[in-house]
Amino acid sequence: MTDGLGEGYEHIRYQVEEGRARITLARPDVHNAITERMLEELEHACWQADDDTEVHCLILKGEGRSFCAGYDLAELPGHGRGPRRRGGRTHDDDLWHIERCNRRIRALWEMHKPSIAQIHGNCLAGGTGLALACDMLIAARDARIGFPAARSMGALPNNLWLYNCGPQWAKRLQLTGDSITGEDAARIGLVMKSVPAPDLETEVEGLADRLSLIDPDLLAANKRITNLGLELMGAQVLQRLAAENDARAHHARAVGNSVRTMREKGLKQTLRDRDEPFGDGWARVAEPEGRTSKRTKGEVNAEKGG
């Protein structure tokens, strides 16, 4: 695959089969952490699928243990950039980089053909931005979905949570950085549906089978009128404002402290210190949470029969 991207895709895999395009995030050793290259390739592949008359829909999924664990922090502005390139040192540099990433992700929203997010493992931070840009989200029941970076790294740079799960749950999850299971995400409408992990691919492919029976022009018409309705409710304006808000949030004292701690202690220890006071980090939709919780993810899943 070489069209317009040199030697081809490096951070995704692209496949067309049986009326669907599959984009697979392909950095499994780092839980498919997002790079600029990945977003460039994702945008390119979305428009290629949209232009292909054999494609009725697109499936976005991740290789390995996770859908996507967020942005690769080694790729933050200022790391490895050549001369005469924005290095993230000013507020406008920061906003410029956020907006560029958001424009690439918006291809999932703006392409005419419908997209399905197939969520397993971790779907965290920037990974939620990719998933929520899709038209329909199906998650494994034991998937972990959340934005823990909101605890210390900034605000959400793109934000469709409000339009899926409503203001109260959007606030509950964004203000604490807590995560929820795929099962609970379906309960509050953050994802469309959750299924047992072994059934996830079959469920997604089954929906794609049904979409492949419909004229792509009709799929486009029905997707676009719904998205236009969301735009009338301010959805795309809010994405512009989310970028502005994230750049503003990067001036918070906690963000500066986190950056310094990463330099001194490294990323893993910084995240461990940040998250330890939150216990297991799970928000629970249908059960009391109490003051503290020491239960592990495995214990929660065992209680739920998963």
pLDDT for 159-211, tens place per residue?
Answer: 999 999 999 999 999 999 999 999 999 999 999 999 999 999 999 999 999 99
- The pLDDT tens digits along the chain (306 residues) read 434 454 589 999 999 999 999 999 999 999 999 999 999 999 999 999 999 999 999 999 999 999 999 999 877 654 444 445 566 679 999 999 999 999 999 999 999 999 999 999 999 999 999 999 999 999 999 999 999 999 999 999 999 999 999 999 999 999 999 999 999 999 999 999 999 999 999 999 999 999 999 999 999 999 999 999 999 999 999 999 999 999 999 999 999 999 999 999 998 999 999 999 999 999 999 999 887 655 554 554 455 444
Asked whether residue 218 is assigned to any structural domain, the reply reads: yes
Domain membership of residue 262 (yes or no) is no
pLDDT score of 2: 38
- Residue ranges making up the domain that contains 72: 12-251
Q: Tell me if 185 is assigned to some domain.
A: yes
Structural domain total, the chain: 1
Any domain includes 6: no
19: left (phi over 0), alpha (psi -120 to 50) or beta: left
In a domain, 259, yes or no: no
Q: Is residue 228 part of a domain?
A: yes
CATH code of the domain containing 158: 3.90.226.10
In a domain, 48, yes or no: yes
Neighbouring residues of 16: CB distance < 8 A, sequence distance ≥ 6:
22, 49, 52, 54, 55
pTM given for the model: 0.89
231 within domain boundaries: yes
What is the layout of strands, in order, in the sheet containing 179-181? 122-124, 144-146, 179-181
Strands 20-25 and 12-17: antiparallel
φ and ψ at residue 39, rounded to 5 degrees: -65, -35
Would the CA dihedral through 178, 183, 301, 118 be positive or negative?
negative
